[in-house]
Amino acid sequence: MTAIRQDAWTADDDLILAEVTLRHIREGSTQLAAFEEVGEKIGRTSAACGFRWNSCVRKKYEAAIQLAKAQRQKRNYFKKQPIGAQVASIALTDHEELNMKADLSEDSLSIDMVIRFLRQWRNNHQDATRQLKQLEKELQDKDEIMLRLRQENDYLSKQVNEVQTDYRTVNDDYKALIQIMDRARRLAILSDDEEDNKTRFRMDANGNLERIE
């Protein structure tokens, strides 16, 4: 909530009121909006700002008010043109930077505005063209990188498939070898048992055969 001041108006307060109100006039805004903005800045009500403007400050800025209205009309006129909004914005900005001291006729002002606009448009177009070429080059580089990565991925996928195939072959051979070794071990154990179970004989001193236990 804006605080309500009861002290007298200072020169700085009047200056803020004049600057803000003139700006709103130039931009086609309302004085009520200007008074509300000033009230928030200096801590007064919009009604107090309006009363101060109409009773005191306005009289000191009659010439500035007429100039601000003329600028508003010029701005509105160029906004209705095909490129008027951009041209007027450029021209009026330059005009304000010169503190509105330039004394140009309607025709010369319009020509200067168009020239400035076209120069700025050309510069913007050149910048956009450079950026487009840079983006196209970056896109081409990325496409080349993507193609190379895709080729590397295909090569590695083939390598992985070959390794997996070799692994399955080696694994099958290993299992077959284990089975063969296991069968051979069982056969060897059975042969030893058979040898142990065989009946052995020997000849005694009389030439007779006797079984060895």
| Separation of alpha carbons 182 and 128, rounded Å | 79
Instruction: Encode 146-177: b = buried (16+ Cβ within 10 Å), e = exposed.
Output: eeeeeeeeeeeeeeeeeeeeeeeeeeeeeeee
pLDDT tens per residue across span 103-128: 333 444 456 666 776 777 777 778 77
pLDDT tens per residue across span 5-64: 668 899 899 999 999 999 999 888 899 999 999 999 999 999 999 999 999 999 989 888
Read off the pTM: 0.39
Mean pLDDT taken over the chain: 77
pLDDT at position 130, please? 84
Measured between alpha carbons, how far is residue 153 from residues 48, 149, 150, 181 in Å? Answer: 77, 6, 5, 41
Give the pLDDT band of residue 184 (cuts 50, 70, 90).
confident
Q: Give the sign of the dihedral formed by CA 208, CA 211, CA 212, CA 213.
A: negative
Check: CB of residue 113 under 8 Å from CB of residue 75.
Answer: no
Measured between alpha carbons, how far is residue 193 from residues 34, 37, 180, 182, 184 in Å? Answer: 118, 114, 20, 17, 14
